[in-house]
Amino acid sequence: MSDAEPGLRERKRRATRLAIQQAALRIATEGGLAAVTVDEISRRADVSPRTFFNYFPNKEQAILGDDPRLPEDGALTDFVAGLPSGDLLPDLGVLLVHSTRELIEERALIEERQVVLRANPELFSRRMESMKEFQAEIERAVTERLQRADPAGSTGPTDPAGLARRARLASLVALATLRHAWWEWSDAEGAPHLVDELERSFAELGSLVSRSLV
Closest Cα to residue 179, out of 140, 128, 122, 142? 128
Q: How far apart are CA 57 and CA 53, in angstroms?
A: 6
pLDDT value at position 7? 82
Lowest mean pLDDT among 49-53, 87-91, 92-96, 158-162: 158-162
pLDDT value at position 56? 96
Closest Cα to residue 54, out of 12, 112, 115? 12
Q: Kindly indicate the confidence band of residue 154, based on its pLDDT and cuts at 50, 70 and 90.
A: low
DSSP annotation string for 20-35: HHHHHHHHHHHH-GGG
Mean pLDDT of 41-59: 97
| 70: three-class secondary structure by DSSP | coil
Give 212 or 73, the one with higher predicted confidence.
73
Mean pLDDT of 10-25: 93
CB 95 within 8 A of CB 70: yes
Mean pLDDT of 50-76: 92
Look at the alpha carbons of 192, 95, 175, 154 in this order and tell me if their dihedral is positive or negative: negative
pLDDT beyond 90 at 213:
no
Cis upstream peptide for 84 (omega within 30°):
yes
Mean pLDDT of 8-21: 91
Q: How far apart are CA 73 and CA 94, in angstroms?
A: 13
Contacts of 38 (CB under 8 A, 6+ apart): 49, 52, 53, 58, 59
Q: Kindly indicate the confidence band of residue 203, based on its pLDDT and cuts at 50, 70 and 90.
A: very high
Mean pLDDT of the chain: 87
CB 156 within 8 A of CB 172: no
Domains of the chain: 1-65 (1.10.10.60), 66-103+121-213 (no CATH)
Can you list the alpha helix ranges (DSSP code H) found in 86-120? 88-100, 107-119
What separation in angstroms does the CA of 141 have from each of 146, 165, 174, 209? 9, 13, 12, 22
pLDDT beyond 90 at 177:
yes
pLDDT value at position 214? 45
